[in-house]
């Protein structure tokens, strides 16, 4: 499962990295965004340079039970939902 998850995350972050540097500088380093409830409760609430902390609640795909194929599908589903949320949020900011 780890190799599949790594592959999914690499593809996701490759898309994020395509954002223009100006957009990255303006948006990604001024916000701390958690995407699962566990992270919202347990991750640092203060980060250097962060002006605003937000939480977007998504189902934790690691908690999903099923076949390896079903688990991979769940990771992809959540990845796509997060990507959509990022795109919507960026459109609101620009």
Beta bridge partner(s), residue 33: 54
Which tokens in the block code for residue 33? 């965004």
- Give me the mean pLDDT over the 75-94 stretch: 88
User: By C-alpha distance, which of 88, 87, 68 is closest to 19?
Assistant: 87
Instruction: Work out the average pLDDT over 72-83.
Output: 91
DSSP string, 40-61: HHHS-S--TT--EEEE-----G
Q: What is the pTM of this model?
A: 0.66
Question: What angle separates helix 68-93 from helix 2-17, to the nearest 10 degrees?
Answer: 20
- pLDDT surpassing 60 at residue 1: no
pLDDT for residue 5 is more than 80 = no
Query: What pLDDT does 56 receive?
Result: 93
């Amino acid at each position: 499962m780890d190799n599949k998850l790594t592959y999914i995350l690499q593809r996701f972050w490759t898309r994020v990295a395509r954002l223009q540097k100006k957009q990255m500088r303006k948006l990604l380093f001024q916000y701390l965004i958690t995407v699962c409830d566990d992270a919202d409760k347990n991750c640092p609430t203060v980060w250097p340079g962060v002006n605003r902390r937000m939480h977007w609640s998504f189902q934790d795909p690691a908690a999903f039970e099923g076949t390896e194929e079903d688990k991979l599908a769940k990771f992809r589903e959540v990845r796509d939902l997060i990507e959509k949320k990022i795109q919507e949020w960026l459109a609101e900011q620009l």
